[in-house]
Structure 1
Amino acid sequence: MTTTELKDLTPRQIVAELDQYIIGQHDAKRNVSIALRNRWRRMNSTPEMQREITPNNILMIGATGVGKTEIARRLAKIADAPFTKVEASKFTEVGYVGRDVESMVRDLVEQSVSMVKAAKKEQVKTRALQIVEDMILDILIPPVKQAPGFMMEDRNNDSIPDSDAELNERTRERFREKIRLGEMDERKIEIEVQQNQAPNIGMIGGTVDELSMMNIQEMIGGMMPRRGRRRKVTIGEAKKILLEEEAAKLIDMDEVKEEAIRKAENTGIIFIDEIDKIASSRGGGSGGPDVSREGVQRDLLPIVEGSTVNTKYGSINTDHILFVAAGAFHVSKPSDLIPELQGRFPIRVELQSLSEEDFFQILKAPKNALTKQYVAMMAAEGVELSFQEDALLEIARIAFQVNSEVENIGARRLQTVMSQLLNDFMFDIPDVIGPNAHVVVTKEMVQEKLTELVKNRDLSQFIL
């Protein structure tokens, strides 16, 4: 995202955007909106201060399913920023089996490259489409070369018939219009598709780190010739395949790499989930799993502090990447993290557990509410679905009750409850319930399908 676009997003506007998808958690929204706005402030300060201003990384504390990941992911989408989510428990210190901590930065750069490449392809799409149309037309109606010696002046004479080249050109233009309108999408043609011959490589008898393996793969891929393969596809499919190939040829990959590195460095967001799983229990023994957990924290520390990481697209500096860490901290607490790592997450936000009213709002208000998703899926089958207000209140009550009595998995509980409620309808469409039908979900229906399960405490289906 450019500085102009970031300038248009004030903290209040960012919170308003997040409110469209996430219910409650106002403190967390305020803090992430300030962190995002601070990026524009940094990029518009003096060059000397730009290097000095570091992001205020955020530690979110809250039970599962209260919106921690969703807040970070939506923030990245609002800012059009590269975003990657990792689980801290998947990392292990060097020498143990697991992922290298630097891989999260490489994942972020991959995401950034994909975003920049997609934007560049969109810019050259019109030119690429023209080339693709010409390629398809060459297959359908090969161009006719004009015979040598043909006098241009003679074309003004109506008595002289059109040349084959002119007729061919007019026919091609008519077919071009049909291709653009999609009238020929079902017709089959044979095209040549580029195929990379690079094999997958595995190493035996030695340890090769992830970056070295990627570089070896890329080097061998560059040495192997790209061979074409003939495929018979519809014109609709050919347009997609050839458009991707031709757009890739028109963009400058060196420019893409440089821009992607800059974008990741200045606007990237890395979300480290389950950070509580690597917190050492204070006062415990000096050995065992705590040693490994502390080792992971010490491996994470230089990345979060700011260091240079080598990727296959070039070196990236992590000084200004925004890190958002999250954990439930049921067993451990934030102070169990090593002090150096605690200091790198100065903003701490506690997310509230969801109430019954929150569940009701989650079902009703967000743009991507579960109820709206089911309405859209049934509409695809020609069936109209609607929910009565008291039915939504009852669904919220039951979801909240199950969370209280069994295991609190937050808003994710609504997915299992809604699935149990509507699975019979989803199965009967379209064989039993045909198009133009109208399904109304009432309070009585919700009670009939769900309350008995709660009463009998037969809740195994609800536990994820």
Structure 2
Amino acid sequence: MNNDDFKEVPDNIQDNNGETTNNIDNTNDNKSNDYEDVCYICRRPESVAGKMIHIQPNLCICNDCMQKTFDSMSNGNFGNLGNLGNISNMDFGNMPNISMINLSDLTGGIPNSQKLKKKKPKEEKKVEPILDIHSIPAPHRIKASLDDYVVGQEHAKKVMSVAVYNHYKRVMADNKHKAQEENTTAKQASNKYDGVEIEKSNMLMIGPTGSGKTYLVKTLAKLLDVPLAITDATSLTEAGYIGDDIESVVSKLLAAADNDVERAEHGIIFIDEIDKLAKKRNANQRDVSGESVQQGMLKLLEGSEVEVPVGASSKNAMVPMTTVDTRNILFICGGAFPGLEDIIKERLNKEASIGFKADLKDKYDGDENLLMQATVDDIRKFGMIPEFIGRLPIMFSLEALTEDMLVKILKEPKNAIIKQYQKLLEMDEVRLEFDDDALYAIAKMAKEKKVGARALRAIIEDFMLDIMYEIPKDDNIGTVTITKDYVEKKGGPLIQMRGTPELADSQHV
């Protein structure tokens, strides 16, 4: 590097008008890039720090950091920057806060997972909102689509369909009002806007384990084509303690939206195991993972601007930050609430009396759907604070799965477990069939395990192991029929060889 090259550096950084220019940056103007540049030093995105100076194609520095660098050089022992002719006599070892860096070692740059997607220019933005009411399916169509994947739970699917439909109508109304304000004067906008603001319709879902809470939300998000973030409330703690901060649920949604803030602000966040945030009874220590988390989530559920890290789950100095508005994000909380049945029984048994026609205290002991009678007072007694419950206005319960529902789960949904195994054996040119008695035997065994639909795959994996292992050995096998005796380990499956019109063999596989 000679003296002339060093003199050109300030000219490339700032011109006479005070505007930043860079000749190296001009070479990348024609390159399409969906992500914002991030300063390599302070990690601020281009939308916050302003235009970047490209040191290398993948290495950017903002104006502030570059100015601080030159200020440190000018205030230290580096000498007068205007007198650059004596560069050979300068002492580079005594430069304050500056170390000579080999730029070839910094070719990696910052990964796209820690960058924000660029927003569309204003001139390219359309007046229509991102979510149009005409593109959102009607409640009956949403429920019909859920019926293809979820068996039973008619009340839950109906409640969710109406709540989601109303929520995105609310989003559409807000976007329409914003468009009016942008395209008309303030007086005209106030005349068109009637002042009615629709509140959020967050949901609280109660149901026993394995009843399909998470599966319902996943299917709903897939149907609406919106980003979905599923988080576990057991890992959340109050800020400053070991664990995930409350804002981490929003950062997961931003990651699911591919760091697109506008798309993330219309997504769905499902907080599972919400019952684990209940207030701890008779606790002498600070409840940093219970009541404190509930209080910290109040503003998040109601709607506020949250600063979250981009491409990371925790805040630190090396991760860029962005602001996400949670006002239009739909929050769905779910939990099994173990022990809530006892609170409901206590409330219902208060009416019990003495006499021939009196209700017995053990009347509700065998009721599997006792959670369907849960009220807000029951949830409050369980340990959820009233302020938290008030921000989840829609509360509903899921039914416990019966044997008939388990049989339907095995064979009716589009991605039923039986259809998955049939497709696996179909790749080996073998047809798999199940007797009705075998299906009811599987459902009975799953019912006894008391873990809901999760037990079905474990039971099928057990008796299908030998079949999946032995079938590929013999290319002459054409059909395998699962019988009740084979499920109960009292016999074997029915094997039909290729080209035989009737069952030719019955044996253990």
Shorter-chain TM range is 0.5 to 0.7
> SS of 2:297's equivalent?
helix
| Cα distance in 2, alignment partners of residues 79 and 423 from structure 1 | 37
Q: 1:15 aligns with which of 135, 139, 143?
A: 143
When residues 366 and 449 of structure 1 are mapped into structure 2, their CA distance, relative to the original with a 3 A threshold, is farther
Q: Deviations over 1:203-243 (max 9, x none)?
A: xxxxxxxxxxxxxxxxxxxxxxxxxxxxxxxxxxxxxxxxx
When residues 305 and 341 of structure 1 are mapped into structure 2, their CA distance, relative to the original with a 3 A threshold, is same
1:80 correspondence with 2:121: no
| Cα distance in 2, alignment partners of residues 308 and 424 from structure 1 | 55
1:446 correspondence with 2:487: yes
Q: CA deviation at 1:5?
A: 7.3
Equivalent in the alignment of 1:132: none
| Cα distance in 2, alignment partners of residues 302 and 56 from structure 1 | 14
Contact 1:6 1:79 in 2 (8 A): no
Q: 1:319 aligns with which of 322, 327, 333?
A: 327
Q: Deviations over 1:297-335 (max 9, x none)?
A: 122222112111224373210011111101111135521
Equivalent in the alignment of 1:293: 290
1:413 correspondence with 2:455: yes
Equivalent in the alignment of 1:62: 207
| Cα distance in 2, alignment partners of residues 450 and 285 from structure 1 | 55
Q: Deviations over 1:53-110 (max 9, x none)?
A: 2321111111111010011111000000100111111101122210111111011011
Which ranges in structure 1 are unaligned for 5 or more consecutive residues? 114-256, 452-464
When residues 280 and 380 of structure 1 are mapped into structure 2, their CA distance, relative to the original with a 3 A threshold, is same
| Cα distance in 2, alignment partners of residues 367 and 272 from structure 1 | 26
Would you identify which runs of 4 or more consecutive aligned residues in structure 1 move more than 6 Å? Answer: none
> SS of 1:357's equivalent?
helix
1:35 correspondence with 2:163: yes
**Scaled by the length of structure 2, what TM-score is found?**
0.55
Contact 2:471 2:477 in 1 (8 A): no
1:101 correspondence with 2:101: no
Q: 2:154 aligns with which of 18, 23, 26?
A: 26
Q: How does 1:29-428 map to 2 (within 5 A)?
A: 29-45=157-173, 47=177, 52-113=197-258, 260-266=260-266, 268-281=267-280, 284-285=281-282, 287-288=284-285, 290=287, 292-311=289-308, 312=310, 314-331=322-339, 334-335=379-380, 336-400=383-447, 402-403=448-449, 408-428=450-470
Higher mean C-alpha displacement, 300-309 vs 12-21: 300-309
| Cα distance in 2, alignment partners of residues 75 and 319 from structure 1 | 20
> SS of 1:56's equivalent?
coil
More contact order relative to length (CA 8 Å, sep ≥ 6): 1
When residues 270 and 412 of structure 1 are mapped into structure 2, their CA distance, relative to the original with a 3 A threshold, is same
What fraction of aligned residue pairs are identical, expressed as a percent?
39
> SS of 1:409's equivalent?
coil
Q: CA deviation at 1:289?
A: 6.3
Contact 1:261 1:316 in 2 (8 A): yes
State the number of aligned residues. Answer: 297
User: What amino acid does structure 2 have at the position aligned with 1:61?
Assistant: I
Q: Whose radius of gyration is greater, 1 or 2?
A: 2
| Cα distance in 2, alignment partners of residues 369 and 298 from structure 1 | 40
Q: CA deviation at 1:395?
A: 1.4
| Cα distance in 2, alignment partners of residues 420 and 287 from structure 1 | 46
User: What amino acid does structure 2 have at the position aligned with 1:20?
Assistant: D
| Cα distance in 2, alignment partners of residues 110 and 86 from structure 1 | 13
User: What amino acid does structure 1 have at the position aligned with 2:468?
Assistant: M
| Cα distance in 2, alignment partners of residues 414 and 299 from structure 1 | 38
User: What amino acid does structure 2 have at the position aligned with 1:30?
Assistant: K
Which ranges in structure 2 are unaligned for 5 or more consecutive residues? 1-128, 178-192, 311-320, 341-377, 493-509
Contact 2:236 2:289 in 1 (8 A): no
When residues 271 and 49 of structure 1 are mapped into structure 2, their CA distance, relative to the original with a 3 A threshold, is farther
Contact 1:420 1:450 in 2 (8 A): no
**Scaled by the length of structure 1, what TM-score is found?**
0.60
Contact 1:307 1:318 in 2 (8 A): yes
| Cα distance in 2, alignment partners of residues 424 and 56 from structure 1 | 49
| Cα distance in 2, alignment partners of residues 106 and 360 from structure 1 | 39
> SS of 2:415's equivalent?
coil
Contact 1:89 1:278 in 2 (8 A): yes
> SS of 2:269's equivalent?
strand
Contact 1:66 1:411 in 2 (8 A): yes
